[in-house]
Structure 1
């Protein structure tokens, strides 16, 4: 009787474990039991308005276009597109709040990105980090590009692509993460979306 009871409990526990492990693609990709340093899912949005979250920087390096706030089926994200700008160059930065890289070890960045109407690799999303950005002077900072998988002209259709695990463990002090889109108002006017940003400690 005791063995039968234990077997029933184990089977029930296994079932619950399997059921709870089934998550939607839109959920955060957060490894279990890992300390979360920073996360942002952009669900507090003002639809189609200029992106203006507290402590974030929304900067137009070239042209007038900036990142905007959007949502689909109650899932928020930020978006950049040069469409309709009529400008020869559009370069937009979305820069995260400062993060203390000395508070944890083994830091890892993940996020998701998507595209549509992108048909030229020069119309692109890039990801950078900076240890000396002062929160104001974007172009005066030193930006290092990170090796991230991003949506591009091969992934159109608003299909979210996972960035993979980006190792930030070598950085110390204060760190900002930047999402930079390059385009123009004529031939490079596709749209880019970013969502589900997580920085966690892998240790």
Structure 2
């Protein structure tokens, strides 16, 4: 009986050791500061994007960002197609994001495109520290260096943005996704999903 018990304890000890060894291979946890995956249950397909706290703003033209989903995965989309307008510039701006001093924050998201033939039909990403939640064009927007979908990607292929360094920012910020196009020659669509700001400490 004692030998059986010893064998059992040996097996349990080995199992625990293996489990602990496996755990050390998991990437370190990075605390989320802000996250928006546009969950499918909250998506109203083809409706004007109106998630709480977000700003959906047409700088020129009348086109706005809309809500979409595919295979139970929600996202937001901007397309000037069919507007017949000379300029369509649409902004989707996050709610206020509060970054603690020393958080070493990072932004990441995914984007996709289709029917984009011209590099002037584009998606850009900006950050502001002085946006009041209402007056988009009165804020000071700084462009962020991010990998985004463009005229060379298309086919609805999602492109990861990479880790965008926000370590120089603290306090309240807003992130903006801005598409430039028109209803004639620059009428491709852009999609944005899986927006996250997290600490890289």
- Tell me whether the two structures share a fold, i.e. TM-score over 0.5: yes
The residue aligned with 1:64 is: 62
Deviates more, 1:179-188 or 1:100-109: 100-109
Distance 1:3 1:124 in 2: 61
Q: Equivalent of 2:131, from 107, 127, 133?
A: 133
**Equivalent residue for 1:25?**
none
Give the alignment's Cα RMSD to 1 decimal.
2.0
Q: Is the aligned partner of 1:36 residue 2:32?
A: yes
1:77-113 CA-to-partner distances (Å, cap 9, x unmatched) read 0000010010010000000011112366100000000
Q: Which of 167, 170, 173 in structure 1 is aligned with 2:168?
A: 170
Alignment of 1:1-203 (within 5 A): 1=7, 5-11=12-18, 32-43=28-39, 44-102=42-100, 105-203=103-201
Partner of 1:26: none
| SS at structure 2 position matched to 1:115 | strand
- Stretches of structure 1 lacking an aligned partner (at least 5 in a row): 22-30
CA deviations on 1:129-162 (whole Å, 9 max, x unpaired) are 0001111110111000000000111111111100
Aligned length: 192
Cα deviation, residue 16, structure 1 = 8.5
Q: Provide, for residues 151-201 of structure 1, a one-character-per-residue CA deviation record: whole Å limited to 9, x for no partner.
A: 111111111100000011101221000000000001111110000001001
Larger radius of gyration, structure 1 or 2? 2
TM-score (norm. length: structure 2)? 0.88
- Structure 2: unaligned runs, 5 residues or longer: 1-6
DSSP 3-state at the match of 1:181? strand
Deviations 1:26-81 (A, max 9, x none): xxxxx641111000001121110000011110000010000000000111000000
> Does the 8 Å CA contact 1:104/1:201 hold for their aligned counterparts?
no
Q: After TM superposition, what 4+ stretches of structure 1 lie above 3 angstroms from structure 2?
A: 1-18
Q: Do 1:57 and 1:135's aligned partners in 2 also have CA atoms closer than 8 Å? A: yes
